[in-house]
């Protein structure tokens, strides 16, 4: 059962805490290697192995706290387990680095399928958060679809051409900042297509 009295900082702490923990752990262990079961693992792999249960525990705590997990959070958790697990199993960091690419391709693809059906599936997920006209939802969905595809391409370009440390900085701060900037730049759309609260729904 959700606890309606939780402090305001708890939800963002659970959502962003694992990412920051991954970043800090990587900085501490990036130049170290560990022999486990006769196999040598780089610090990145060890940090990835630790990140998976930390993220899942955080999501479980978030569900316990709020009584709800979004579809995006559930899909993200599944992909973290799959691609993080592949990186650890094969001792290959490339799988985990591809995870953001897969996430954004999946999200962009889902939005694209909805658009081809003449629907904004983004509206289904976020309608209660942003009251917009149907036209506004279609425009925002189209832009977000293209944005997700752009992030997928950008992630591929960075992890394939830059150092591991640069990619970690990009994943931790760059992707979050990019999403924040995207929604900030949609201010005109929200103004032109926003609905008064009385008209919501």
- Each residue of 11-26: pLDDT tens digit? 889 989 999 999 999 9
Statement: residue 201 has pLDDT above 50: no
pLDDT band at 200 (very low <50, low <70, confident <90, very high): very low
Distance of CA 79 to CAs 13, 97, 106, 138, Å? 21, 11, 10, 27
Averaged over 30-41, what is the pLDDT? 93
Q: What distance in Å separates the CA atoms of residue 192 and residue 144, rounded to the nearest whole number? A: 17
Contacts with 35 (C-beta within 8 Å, 6 or more apart), sequence order: 41
Answer yes or no: is pLDDT of 3 > 60: no
| Top-confidence range, 14-18, 51-55, 70-74 | 51-55
Coil vs helix vs strand at 42? strand
Least confidently predicted of 82-96, 150-164, 183-197: 183-197
Q: What is the pLDDT of residue 45?
A: 96
Q: Phi-psi bin for 176: left (phi > 0), alpha (psi -120 to 50), beta?
A: alpha
Rounded to the nearest integer, the mean pLDDT of the chain is 90
């Amino acid at each position: 059962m959700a606890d309606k009295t939780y402090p305001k900082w708890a939800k963002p702490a659970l959502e962003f805490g694992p990412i920051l923990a991954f970043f800090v752990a990587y900085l501490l262990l990036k130049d170290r290697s560990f022999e486990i079961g006769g196999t040598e693992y780089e610090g990145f792999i060890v940090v990835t192995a630790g990140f998976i249960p930390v993220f899942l525990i955080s999501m479980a705590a978030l569900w316990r706290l709020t009584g709800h997990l979004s579809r995006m959070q559930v899909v993200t958790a599944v992909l973290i387990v799959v691609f993080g697990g592949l990186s650890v199993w094969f001792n290959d960091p490339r799988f985990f680095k591809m995870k953001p690419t897969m996430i954004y391709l999946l999200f962009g693809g889902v939005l694209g399928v909805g658009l081809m059906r003449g629907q904004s599936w983004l509206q289904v997920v976020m309608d209660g958060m942003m009251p917009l006209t149907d036209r506004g939802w279609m425009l925002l969905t189209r832009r977000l679809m293209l944005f997700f595809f752009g992030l997928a391409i950008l992630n591929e370009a960075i992890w394939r051409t830059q150092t591991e440390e640069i990619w970690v900085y990009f994943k931790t701060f760059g992707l979050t900042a990019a999403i924040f900037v995207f929604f900030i730049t949609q201010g005109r759309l929200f103004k032109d297509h926003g609905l008064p609260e009385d008209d919501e729904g």
